Copies of this chain bind each other. A is one copy, B any other.
Amino acid sequence: MQRILSTELARHTGETVTVAGWVHRRRLLKSVAFLIVRDAAGLTQVVVTEPELRARVEELGEESVVELTGTVTANPAAPAGAELTAPVLRVLSAVGVPLPFDLHRPALSATLPTQLDHAALSLRHPSRATALRIAAAATAGFRATLERRRFVEIHTPKIVAAATESGANVFALDYFGRPAYLAQSPQFYKQLMVGVFERVYEVGPVFRAEPHDTARHLAQYTSLDAELGFIADHRDVMAVLTEVVAGMTATVAERTGAAVPTVPAEIPAVHFAEALRIAGAPADEPDLAPAHERALGEWALREHGSEFVFVTGYPMRKRPFYTHPQPSDPVWSNSFDLLFRGLELVTGGQRLHRHADYEAALAARGEPAAAYRGYLDAFRYGMPPHGGFAIGLERFVARVTGAANVREVTAFPRDLHRITP
Contacts and interface: CB of A to CB of B under 8 A. Distances in A.
Interface of A: 3, 20, 22-23, 39-40, 61, 63-65, 67, 92-97, 99, 118-121, 123-124, 129, 132-133, 135-136, 139-140, 147, 150, 152-161, 171-176, 178, 180, 182, 189, 192-193, 195-199, 203-205, 207, 209, 211, 219-220, 222, 230, 353-354, 374-375, 377-385, 393, 411-412, 414, 416, 419-421
A94 B354 CA distance: 8
Given A159-B220, A173-B174, A196 B129 contact: yes
Contact of A155 (B135, B189, B211, B353): B135
A94 to B, nearest CB: 8
Nearest to A385: B92
Which of A158, A171, A173: most chain B CB closer than 10 A?
A173
A205 to B, nearest CB: 5
A124 B7 CA distance: 49
Contact of A412 (B40, B180, B189, B354): B189
23 contacts: A22-B195, A65-B384, A92-B353, A93-B354, A93-B382, A93-B383, A95-B380, A95-B381, A120-B196, A123-B195, A129-B196, A129-B197, A132-B196, A158-B207, A158-B220, A159-B207, A161-B419, A173-B182, A176-B416, A189-B411, A204-B205, A205-B205, A375-B421
How often does this chain occur in the complex, in copies?
Answer: 2
A211 B158 CA distance: 18
A193 B123 contact: yes
A411 B353 CA distance: 20
Contact of A419 (B132, B140, B160, B219): B160
Contact of A414 (B40, B157, B204, B379): B157
A205 B222 CA distance: 12
A135 B193 CA distance: 14
Contact of A154 (B155, B193, B353, B411): B411
Contact of A65 (B61, B136, B382): B382
A40 B133 CA distance: 34
Contacts of A158: 158, 205, 207, 220
